[in-house]
Structure 1
Amino acid sequence: MNRRAFFVGCTLSVGVAGCLDDLSDDEGGSDELPGDIRPDDDPENVPAELHCEGEEFDRIQYQDDDDELVYGDADAFALRVMDLSYDYGESATFELVNTSSEEQLTSTSTRWNLQLYTENGWEEVRGTTEDRRLEHTDEEVSHEPGDGFSWTIELTEDGISEAGPVSDSVAVCPELRAGRFRFIYTGYAPEDVAVQFDFER
């Protein structure tokens, strides 16, 4: 069942997402934001497509159209990753900032995908089994200029599955593989905004 609510400032997903301090310059914009958008080179490792044995596995798919996706800078928001390379067990931090000079609305901080580039294209690493489908709410969050969301996700199977709001329903399958990952925030219309980073197992 969907419900609609309105929040001022930002929401918190326990242990994962939080509010940002004001990170924009006085006139808005993303030139001075810390972090990166994506590596300059092509990925060194492209694994086979993701496949899970046993029960039906339904991959979480908030983002479904690359034509509506931009890297780094959307119309009124910028997304950055704090490093371009991580090892297994390290924590990756992502920051979304309102770079406009006006208040902007997004959905909640939970509307993100974490995908691996495979021989089958970009594939979400998280999913649910048939008896544990996710339900979503329709909520709005207000961000003043310079405000936004921050996510810190431990790059392990448990760390990623526990990063969402319903960790008991979410799993990473198969186990994490080395390669090029991308984090996408899908709660801002009209564009999904993404960053990429490399991951070593």
Structure 2
Amino acid sequence: MTERQLSGHIRPAESPESPVKDLSCEKGNFTRHPPMYDEGSVPWGDTGYVSLRIDGTAFEYGDTAQITLTNTSDSTLTLGLKYMYQIELLTEDGWQDVRGQTGDDEFQYVDMGTEAAPGEVFEWSLRLTEDGVVPGEKDFTVCPELVSGRYRFVYWTATPVAVAFDLQK
């Protein structure tokens, strides 16, 4: 399967406007979701065996973004579960997940795999609101509220891969 056969986008062509200065949360006992991958090694769109695409590069608050992960290899792959992703905002301190949790619990994920034949593996329909970017399987909260800026979606199991988009609020 070649890249030309995949529909969608990887990231906006233009550089982002200035990053958000600060991503601080006023909620007591809030812990921001940590990166679940090596921060210096996230390729845009393609890893050589999976590809990630988004249906647009600019969205308004409340829009729904369609994101698709495709197995572009000729083999069945073992990947993680669908909810193993991060929604990050570009800040002056780098990419930071907009989600986190309150309380003393650690961030935990089930160490299970999904067998993925060649072709489409997962599709996410993310409504770009505070509730829409939180998977139903996780007890996360968004703090502070979403703001205008450059965001990226990182599917982080096996080799992480990302797509980016701009959000206007």
1:114 aligns with 2:87: yes
Cα distance 1:192–1:136, how it changes in 2: closer, same or farther (>3 A)?
Answer: same
How many residues of Structure 1 are paired with residues of Structure 2 in the alignment? 169
1:33 aligns with 2:3: no
- 2:148 match: 178
Pick the aligned partner of 1:71 from 44, 50, 69: 44
- Between the aligned partners of 1:44 and 1:113, the Cα distance in structure 2 is 21
Rounded Cα–Cα distance in structure 2 between residues aligned with 1:64 and 1:186: 6
- Match for residue 75 of structure 2 among 102, 120, 124: 102
Deviates more, 1:71-80 or 1:38-47: 38-47
What is the letter of the counterpart of residue 150 of structure 2?
Answer: R
Q: Structure 1 CA distance, aligned partners of 2:120 and 2:27?
A: 43
- Asked whether the 8 Å contact 1:29–1:100 carries over to 2, the reply is no
Change (3 A) 1:100 1:64: closer
Q: Does 1:165 align with 2:133?
A: no
Deviations 1:110-159 (A, max 9, x none): 11000000111111000001245443111010111113110011111121
Whether the 8 Å contact between 2:37 and 2:160 is mirrored in structure 1 is no
Q: Which residue of 1 aligns with 2:117?
A: 144
> 1:66: how far off?
2.5
Q: What RMSD, in angstroms, separates the aligned Cα atoms of the two structures?
A: 1.4
TM-score (norm 1): 0.79
* % identical equivalent positions: 36
The equivalent of 2:164 in structure 1 is: 196
Distance in 2 between residues matched to 1:62 and 1:164, nearest whole Å: 20
Residue in 2 aligned with 1:83? Answer: 56
Question: Following the alignment from structure 1 to structure 2, what is the Cα–Cα distance between the partners of residues 153 and 183?
Answer: 10
Give the deviation of 1:193 after TM superposition: 0.2
Alpha-carbon separation, structure 1, partners of 2:104 and 2:66: 31
Residue aligned with 1:31, SS: helix
Question: Rg bigger for which structure?
Answer: 1
Q: Secondary structure at the match of 1:70?
A: coil
Paired amino acid for 1:153: L
Once the two structures are superposed, residues 158-196 of structure 1 have per-residue CA deviations (whole angstroms, 9 ceiling, x without a partner) of: 2123x3412xx2110001110000000001x2x210000
Residues 107, 138 of structure 1: 8 Å contact kept: yes
